[in-house]
Structure 1
Amino acid sequence: MTDPASAADRRSRVLADGNEIPLLGLGVWQIPDGRECEDAVRWALAAGYRHIDTAQAYRNERSVGRALRDSGVPRDEVFLTTKFFPGHRDPEQEVQRSLERLGVDFVDLYIIHWPQGGPTWAWDGMQRAHERGYARSIGVSNFDVAELSSLFEVAEVPPVVDQVQFSPFEFRRGLLSACEQRDVAIEAYSPLGTGRHLGDRRVAGIADRLGRTPAQVLIRWALQRGLVVLPKSTHRERIESNAQVFDFALTDEDMAALDGLDRTGGTDRAQENAWW
């Protein structure tokens, strides 16, 4: 585990391909295209976020692009992620459509959203997208250890991230260990359990003692593990509060207590039940 004191101000990590990714990002899953999404992204950028995570399946790439342009933050200061919808056939063609919707020349990270149809068939198209400069880094989402292993056997450009549901309550130790061995960064989506984890009394107890919110404690847990973490909110005050996580640290005792909340048995799986 990263030392809490040295980790307190750590805001980014270097991926296996040499590109740097901010550890804190705004996720925009389930935010409708339009003003609500634009506001969330603009507020996040104003609050200091420099990482925005969208997807073709979210149908809000146009709003993300408009908010980025309207924010006044230079494009080269924002790490932008989108994801290939595996119901389509060609990741290279689809990322070009994403770039048009986003109004940018490239994305910083392009991810296979889930392993529908098997873990390897789309990777050639992902590699073409990378080779042609449409995506600076490429990765996957919702891939378990077996699926990652299959992909590494055929990949010329290996994935550098695996974005999965991850939190103290979904502490997938087996998957994290395998990813660390392959230098694949875990990105934690739904770190707040879509709000379900915020009412846990053990999380609240740590938050009360530290004078922090439960959301800040859960986000901080992920940061101290060196994870990329993607909290989602459409409320300005919560977006701003969720960014205030670099000026305190959890103790070893706090981390151990949070680790003990895991409900997955330390699984190496990315999903308890696949939805595809």
Structure 2
Amino acid sequence: MLKLANGSEIPALGLGVWQVPDGPVCERAVTAALESGYRLIDTAQAYGNEASVGRALRSSGVPRGEIFLTTKFHPGRRDPLAEMEKSLERLDTAYVDLYLVHWPQGGATVAWPGMEAAHAAGLAKGIGVSNFSAAELAEVSAVAEVPPMVNQFQYSPFVDRRGLVEACLAAGVVPQGYSPLGTGEHLDDPVVAKIAAATGRTAAQVLIRWSLQRGVSVIPKSSRPARIEENFGALDFSLDEESMAALDALDTTQHTAEAKAADEKWWS
């Protein structure tokens, strides 16, 4: 568990449902995660699967208070408060534990008053951002009455945005990484495979474990129950210093404080 600025705790490992189709596939994934012991589920308005997440949560039998639920405001829409109300209808819950600005479209601060309104109304216990650079995070913090509690961005040994992680930690913001497996691309890397063989773990567990040991919450995506259960095994072992250093050497970002390279930004 990692401590948020509002005093609540966010699980270090959760399930992300980006690109998981709405309907039975998403419901099965969330159900499998909860049965495996996950208590953090991460969705978004842009994913189009909030209703499926809500159905799985309801049918799981896990008390709502034990689940940390995140969704994200779609910045192409106008009003974070109004969109939060729609999300809650789809999720069939009275609140989310965390509401993030999905990306900084139109500027870092434009959505923040509406995010604070959702927080003040009790619809979002915590608020934060996603895909924000260190500079953009500082912009929001400078004008916020309620500062961001989390910044979520792509993070793995190959995309080690260490400068951004350090900026988050210095500001009291929990860094959270998505795509820790590079959407599967990193699983066959020879360095990762060698460490997995030496530790008796899978490549996925090694990659997730690296992020956890860097103090980053991680939300690997999967729709396969066996893989979801496998990923959860990253919590019960540690990588030694030599393995961590070997994984550190895979970085391609020069430890940037940017959340995206200029040619990767899909917003304006």
TM > 0.5 = yes
Report the 3-state secondary structure (helix = DSSP H, G, I; strand = E; otherwise coil) of the residue aligned with 1:130.
helix
Q: Tell me which residue corresponds to 1:275.
A: 266
The alpha carbon displacement at 1:201 in A equals 0.4
Measured against aligned partners, the alpha-carbon deviations of 1:172-221 in whole angstroms (never above 9, x if no partner) come to 11111111110111110000000001010000000001110000001111
Distance (Å, rounded) in 2 between the aligned partners of 1:158 and 1:247: 32
Report the 3-state secondary structure (helix = DSSP H, G, I; strand = E; otherwise coil) of the residue aligned with 1:198.
coil
Q: With structure 1 as the length reference, what TM-score do the two structures score?
A: 0.95
For the pair 1:181 / 2:170, whether they are aligned, the reply is yes
Pick from 122, 140, 152 the counterpart of residue 133 of structure 1: 122
Distance (Å, rounded) in 1 between the aligned partners of 2:195 and 2:235: 17
Pick from 184, 190, 207 the counterpart of residue 195 of structure 1: 184
The answer for unaligned runs of 5 or more in structure 2 is none
The alpha carbon displacement at 1:246 in A equals 2.2
Q: For structure 1, which segment, 58-67 or 216-225, has the greater mean C-alpha deviation from structure 2 after superposition? A: 216-225
Pick from 231, 238, 247 the counterpart of residue 258 of structure 1: 247
Distance (Å, rounded) in 2 between the aligned partners of 1:176 and 1:241: 26
For the pair 1:59 / 2:48, whether they are aligned, the reply is yes
Q: Tell me which residue corresponds to 2:15.
A: 26
Pick from 21, 28, 32 the counterpart of residue 43 of structure 1: 32
Q: For structure 1, which segment, 98-107 or 218-227, has the greater mean C-alpha deviation from structure 2 after superposition? A: 218-227
Distance (Å, rounded) in 2 between the aligned partners of 1:170 and 1:262: 6
The answer for unaligned runs of 5 or more in structure 1 is 1-11
Aligned length: 265
For the pair 1:111 / 2:100, whether they are aligned, the reply is yes
Q: Tell me which residue corresponds to 2:227.
A: 238
Report the 3-state secondary structure (helix = DSSP H, G, I; strand = E; otherwise coil) of the residue aligned with 2:135.
helix
Report the 3-state secondary structure (helix = DSSP H, G, I; strand = E; otherwise coil) of the residue aligned with 1:199.
coil
AA paired with 1:110?
Y
Report the 3-state secondary structure (helix = DSSP H, G, I; strand = E; otherwise coil) of the residue aligned with 1:193.
coil
Q: With structure 2 as the length reference, what TM-score do the two structures score?
A: 0.98
Query: RMSD value over aligned CA atoms?
Result: 0.6
Measured against aligned partners, the alpha-carbon deviations of 1:31-84 in whole angstroms (never above 9, x if no partner) come to 111000000000000000000000000000000000001111111110000000
Measured against aligned partners, the alpha-carbon deviations of 1:223-263 in whole angstroms (never above 9, x if no partner) come to 11121100111111111111112221100111111111100
Distance (Å, rounded) in 2 between the aligned partners of 1:213 and 1:158: 38
Distance (Å, rounded) in 1 between the aligned partners of 2:150 and 2:117: 17
| Ranges of 4+ aligned residues in structure 1 off by more than 3 Å | none
Report the 3-state secondary structure (helix = DSSP H, G, I; strand = E; otherwise coil) of the residue aligned with 2:218.
strand
Q: Tell me which residue corresponds to 1:86.
A: 75
